[in-house]
Amino acid sequence: MHPHFKPGPLPLSMQLTPEGKLKHFLSTEGLPHLLLHDIMDRAEQFVTLPAKQQKKAPFLRGKTVMNLFFENSTRTRVTFEIAAQRLGADVTNLDIRTSSATKGETLLDTVRNLEAMNADMFVVRHEHAGTAQFIARYCAPHISVLNAGDGRHAHPTQAMLDMFTIRQKKGDFAPLKVAIVGDILHSRVARSQIHALTSLGTGEVRVIAPKTLVPAGLDKMGVNIFNNLDEGLKDLDVVIALRQQRERMDSALLPSEQEFFKLYGLTDKRLEATKPDAIVMHPGPINRGVEIDSRVADGSRSVIMEQVTNGIAVRMAVMSMIMGSMAGGAA
């Protein structure tokens, strides 16, 4: 990253046009609930169309989408690629491991070169928080940037596909009790989900985690914090399990995966505390036997694979809305 860049608060004006339409999609923080519902409404249109008919909605025809994944991904990268293709875009996946980034080229120089190849949209995943924001600030004005996950900071399209899945299964957010369980400290997904859930007026948002995995200041985000799993699971409508982010974790934070599973692992027995029709979600990748038992991950309450499928429609929705805003037309 640029040595002088310090990711700071993200002003809404950085993501939205003066008319309040999406220009970039960097974070769910501060986004109005009407815009979040617009994204879900648009995704609903795509999800009900068979893939062949989706290709007849070429919102991105003639546009070039570049996937820049500086960190590994399965779900996000592939669903962004499928979404862009269904919208008629030309899609390029830059293989960072064989790119000139490995020869010392700076991020901005890489961006400048991709701009010169007529990029219209960058989809960016990076281990450093603020990278997508940085690119959005310095790239050419006609280019839009979508954050596909930056460090511990944000993963806005993941949060939106999760909101979409909750809305599909449960309808209105107001009566719902939703909990996010596990490694909140290192999770960009949790932060983006909390911003979206609170903006959408969710009845109660809980986090359930050991004290060592609760970030400072979380209590100011409008959530109730539980350190005991059984207490936190009581009467829930939606349980969202998170992966232990071992790649970002100081090993001193947790004694062992076995102990974590004993205290915080989701099992059928422990889920008896939730409402009988509660759903279980997970953004993936899942660690079986660490944060979730296989019987739960593959069981009747699990909507994990539906989340993955919904990722295509939600990413189509966000990309098509951005392209509408950039063209000055209806988003």
Q: How far is CA 190 from the centre of its chain?
A: 9
Q: Which is nearer to ligand CP, 54 or 158 (CB)?
A: 158
Per-residue mark of binding to ligand CP, 53-92 (x: CB under 6 A): --------------------xxxx----------------
103 is in an annotated binding site: yes
125 is in an annotated binding site: yes
Q: At 59, which amino acid appears?
A: F
| CA angle (146 as vertex; 141, 149 as ends), nearest 5 | 140
Distance of closest approach, residue 132 Cβ to ligand CP, in angstroms: 14
Distance of closest approach, residue 240 Cβ to ligand CP, in angstroms: 12
Per-residue mark of binding to ligand CP, 277-296 (x: CB under 6 A): ------xxx-----------
Distance of closest approach, residue 10 Cβ to ligand CP, in angstroms: 20
CA dist., res. 280 & res. 324, Å (int): 34
- Retrieve residue 1's tokens: 């990253």
Q: Which is nearer to ligand CP, 281 or 326 (CB)?
A: 281
Find the Cα–Cα–Cα–Cα dihedral 247, 151, 206, 30, rounded to 10°: 180
CA dist., res. 58 & res. 327, Å (int): 14
Question: Is the Cα torsion angle 298, 302, 305, 306 positive or negative in sign?
Answer: positive
Q: Which is nearer to ligand CP, 24 or 243 (CB)?
A: 243
Cβ contacts of 68 within 8 Å, gap of 6 or more: 94, 96, 110, 114, 122, 123, 124, 125, 126
285 is in an annotated binding site: yes
CA dist., res. 14 & res. 296, Å (int): 40
Per-residue mark of binding to ligand CP, 156-195 (x: CB under 6 A): --x-------------------------------------
Helix (H) or strand (E) holding 149: strand 144-150
Contacts (CB under 6 A) with ligand CP, residues 213-232: none
The reply to whether 309 sits near ligand CP by the rule CB under 6 A is no
Helix axes 304-326, 33-47, angle to 10 degrees: 110
Per-residue mark of binding to ligand CP, 23-42 (x: CB under 6 A): --------------------
Pairing state of beta strands 90-94 and 238-241?
unpaired
248 is in an annotated binding site: no
Q: Which residues are annotated as a binding site?
A: 75-76, 103, 125, 155, 158, 188, 243, 284-285
Q: Which residues are annotated as a binding site for carbamoyl phosphate?
A: 75-76, 125, 155, 158, 284-285
Please state the residue numbers annotated as binding site for L-aspartate. 103, 188, 243
User: Which residues are near ligand CP by CB under 6 A?
Assistant: 73-76, 149, 158, 283-285
